């Protein structure tokens, strides 16, 4: 097992991602952040908290999206659905999708399909904590990445969150 990001490095990456979002989205009133269930919400919760620290007076639009029934492997394995909570319109908005690890791109493809059920955004960006480069099956790239790593298909990247796993770290298994 090899540590990719320590607790301190994760915290710094999350702060950097929040600052980059503010830099690239001049009108955050027209921007919404949507965390992907189940594990992308740990990252999105922290990014939204960091944004609120940086700009406390700004009301950020934040939602959570479950993609279970949009996955192309839904028939192969049993999936347990999570909650979707998008209490605002995404029509004409700039949407930032947030997930923990970008691997093959299939999760993001499913998220894009699911997102369209809620309206037609003007733009969709992708934010991930870990970008597993060279593992893509679809032409999907992140706009914001905490760390890009080169892995092989047999490697497993595990993101541990205090809220679920009692420790913040990213490891290569």
Between CA 173 and CA 170 the distance in angstroms is: 10
Query: Which pLDDT score is estimated for 138?
Result: 94
Which residues lie closer than 8 Å to 154 by C-beta, 6 or more apart? none
Top-tier CATH class for 8-150: alpha beta
- Where do the structural domains in the chain lie, given as residue ranges? 8-150
pLDDT tens per residue, the chain (173 residues)? 999 999 999 999 999 999 999 999 987 899 999 999 999 999 999 999 999 999 998 989 999 999 988 888 756 565 667 889 999 999 999 999 999 999 999 999 999 999 999 999 999 999 999 999 988 999 999 999 999 999 888 899 999 999 999 999 999 99
Encode burial over 15-33: b for 16+ CB neighbours within 10 A, e otherwise. eebbeebbeebeebeebbb
Interhelix angle 40-54/7-24, rounded to 10 degrees, is: 60
pTM: 0.94
């Amino acid at each position: 097992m090899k540590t990719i990001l320590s607790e301190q490095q994760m915290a710094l990456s999350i702060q950097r991602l929040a600052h980059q979002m503010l830099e690239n989205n001049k009108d955050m009133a027209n921007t919404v952040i949507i965390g992907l269930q189940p594990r992308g919400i740990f990252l999105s919760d922290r990014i939204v908290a960091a944004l609120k620290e940086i700009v406390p007076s700004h009301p950020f639009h934040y939602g959570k999206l479950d993609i279970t029934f949009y996955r192309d492997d839904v028939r192969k394995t049993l999936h347990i659905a999570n909650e979707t909570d998008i209490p605002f319109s995404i029509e004409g908005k700039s949407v930032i999708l947030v997930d923990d690890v970008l691997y093959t791109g299939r999760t993001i493809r499913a998220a894009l399909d699911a997102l369209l059920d809620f309206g037609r955004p003007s733009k969709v960006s992708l934010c991930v904590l870990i970008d597993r480069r060279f593992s893509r099956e679809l032409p999907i790239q992140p706009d914001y990445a905490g760390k890009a790593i080169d892995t092989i298909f047999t490697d497993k990247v595990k993101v541990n969150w205090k809220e679920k796993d009692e420790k913040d770290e990213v490891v290569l298994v």
